[in-house]
Structures are given as structure tokens and as C-alpha cells.
């Protein structure tokens, strides 16, 4: 299975991502970008995006970036610092590989809201769960079946 097929399967089976509101915008061996339209189910009691939704988005985009080398990963740990929130519109999560070793991978994630305002930032560490999930796809821009 190639990398794009793997990520498309991820989006189709993960209930949070398969809501139809998340879109994979870009992915290569060291980066991933996912956008999400804010919807009522991810709002907290104050009417802003719930911290758990931001964390879930961050963990997923970090996992996609980690998987850019063709291996399966599982989250070892993650931390997210919340700076501000948003009530509606789009949010964008960007993940960058900071270190890739033989058995672990460290990813930095930034989540942006309207006007490129930083909503949250953090780091996630992943463990390699197997050797390879498929071939390395050369494409830097991908589309998970929906318009970005």
C-alpha cells in the first residue's frame, strides 16, 4: 500500500477525521497539513473549539507526518499548549518532523486559526510499530478525495 492510500484509509476509518470536515492539504516525508472546518460537535460549553478536539487534530496530523517515511507509528506521548481558541471558520494543523530515529520520531505541531493566529503548539513522540506500510510516494501535494 502506498502512502497516499494509507492516509486515505486513515481518513476513511477515523471517526474524527471522516466527519467530512477535515482535509489533508499536503504531505511529504517530513511534513503534513490538515485543515478542519469548525462544527458544533467540537465546541465546548463556552462555544469555542474544545481543547480535546485540538489535541486530537494535533495527534492525527503528527501521526500522518511521522508516517511520511512509510512506516507505521503509534503515539508515545504528546503535549499541546493552548494559546487561544476560535468559535467558527477553519483551523489548520501543520506538523513537522524534528527528529526521526530508527525506532522513534519527534514531531512539532502548530495549529492556526483565522488570520494565521496560533491557537496551539506542541510536540508529539511516536514509536515505530512496524517496518513499512508501503512505498514512499514522491508527491508533496495530496488530496484525500475532497476539495482542499
Of the candidates 137, 120, 35, which has an alpha carbon nearest to the alpha carbon of residue 84?
Answer: 120
> What is the reported pLDDT for 136?
41
Q: What is the pLDDT of residue 135?
A: 41
Residues sharing a CB contact under 8 Å with residue 37, sequence separation 6 or more, in sequence order = 21, 89, 90
C-alpha distances in angstroms, 84 versus 81, 94, 99, 116, 125? Answer: 9, 16, 27, 12, 23
**Which pLDDT value is given to residue 44?**
96
The pLDDT score that the predictor gives to residue 102 is 93
d(CA 68, CA 7): 10
Nearest to 98 by CA among 66, 76, 120: 66
pTM of the model: 0.84
Report CA 139 to chain centroid distance, whole Å: 17
pLDDT at residue 113, as a whole number: 97
The answer to whether residues 31 and 95 touch, using CB atoms and an 8 Å cutoff, is yes
User: What would the 3-class secondary structure string for the chain be?
Assistant: CCHHHHHHHHHHHCCCHHHCCEEEEEECCCEEEEEEECCHHHECCCCCECHHHHHHHHHHHHHHHHHHHCCCEEEEEEEEEECCCCCCCEEEEEEEEEEECCCEEEEEEEEECHHHCEEEEEEEEEEECCCCCCCCCCCCECCCCCCC
Which grid coordinates belong to 82? 493552548
- One digit per residue, the tens of pLDDT, for the chain of length 148 reads 567 777 777 777 777 777 768 888 899 999 999 999 999 999 999 999 999 999 999 999 999 999 999 888 999 999 999 999 999 999 999 999 999 999 999 999 999 999 999 999 999 999 999 866 544 433 344 445 443 3
Amino acid at each position: 500500500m502506498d502512502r497516499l492510500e494509507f492516509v486515505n484509509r486513515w481518513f476513511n476509518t477515523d471517526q474524527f477525521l471522516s466527519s467530512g470536515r477535515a482535509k489533508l492539504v499536503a504531505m511529504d516525508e517530513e511534513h503534513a497539513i490538515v485543515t478542519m472546518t469548525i462544527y458544533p460537535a467540537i465546541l465546548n460549553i463556552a462555544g469555542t473549539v474544545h481543547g480535546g478536539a485540538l489535541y486530537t487534530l494535533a495527534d492525527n496530523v503528527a501521526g500522518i507526518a511521522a508516517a511520511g517515511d512509510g512506516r507505521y507509528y503509534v503515539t508515545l506521548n504528546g503535549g499541546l499548549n493552548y494559546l487561544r481558541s476560535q468559535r467558527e471558520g477553519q483551523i489548520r494543523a501543520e506538523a513537522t518532523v524534528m527528529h526521526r530515529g530508527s525506532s522513534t520520531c519527534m514531531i512539532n505541531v502548530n495549529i492556526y486559526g483565522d488570520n494565521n493566529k496560533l491557537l496551539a503548539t506542541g510536540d508529539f513522540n511516536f514509536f515505530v510499530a512496524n517496518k513499512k506500510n508501503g512505498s514512499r510516494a514522491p508527491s508533496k501535494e495530496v488530496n484525500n478525495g475532497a476539495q482542499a
